[in-house]
Amino acid sequence: MSDPPPRALVTGASSGIGAALARELATRGHPLVLVARRGDALERLAAELPTPTDVVVADLATEEGLRTVEDLITDTADPVRLLVNNAATGAFARLTEQDAATLDATVHVNVLAPLRLSRAALRRMDGRGGIMMISSPVAVGTVGLTAYAASKAFLDALGRGLVAEAPAGVRITTVAPGYTRTEFHDRLGEDVSGIPDRWWLTPEDVARTALDAHARGEQRVEPGRPSTAQRAVQKARRLTRPVTARLRRRGTSGSA
């Protein structure tokens, strides 16, 4: 008789890929812990899921919020055996145009939180369990997303390091999805109007692909991996973003 699916914790679970991962995990029988800042959205999501689900309202950009989730992970009464580091924040702007508060939040949510939560989870994983990192293809670097891209490059490095350090039986998977239809691009302030429809993934596509890869023990998966043509267009977008941004600023400054 096989063991029941382990308890899973998903950060940034209130929308987008995080919510899709929560739904897919629930369909696979995992009890869940959902973490995000928006409690109302988490409660609505939890109400529709078929498995036991706890809601934790926490802001991972704060020490208080991070410690709340760390303490939950280390609870020996009901341990978390699958950690999904999905929460992310950032802004579409040159590094010199971002204020200190935005940069601090990017580092706390995208870098420090996955680092500390992964440490907490690994300390409780005695030969079984897993960690998933939701990274991004922009980790290679792109104009206007320098800070965000650097934080995702950190996740890539963290995933590679944990593959080497994790106990036998603990699976580490880094997920780098392509363009995905979520509200995150709007929150970043990134203009993606020129991306062809056929290149877009749904959050559900990403969730299924990511969890299937993790179940197979794959160390990295890239849902919607760009073709050669897509990569050429993406490179062109990276090169033209500085000009576009300057023109946009000029247009704004000259408008009534």
pLDDT in tens, 189-219: 667 777 888 888 999 999 999 999 999 999 9
Give the confidence band of 78 by pLDDT, cuts at 50, 70, 90.
confident
Confidence at residue 250, expressed as pLDDT on a 0 to 100 scale = 39
Q: Can you tell me the mean pLDDT for 23-46? A: 98
Confidence at residue 145, expressed as pLDDT on a 0 to 100 scale = 86
75: CB partners within 8 A, 6+ apart:
none
Residues 156 and 135 sit within 8 Å (Cβ to Cβ) = yes
Q: What is the mean pLDDT of the chain?
A: 87
Q: Can you tell me the mean pLDDT for 5-34? A: 97
Provide the annotated active-site residues: 148
Give the confidence band of 69 by pLDDT, cuts at 50, 70, 90.
very high
Residues 199 and 237 sit within 8 Å (Cβ to Cβ) = no
Burial 4-16, CB ≥16 within 10 A → b, else e: eebbbbbbbbbbb
Q: How far is CA 178 from CA 111, 137, 211, 256, in A?
A: 20, 7, 16, 38
187: pLDDT strictly greater than 50: yes
pLDDT, greater one: 224 or 154: 154
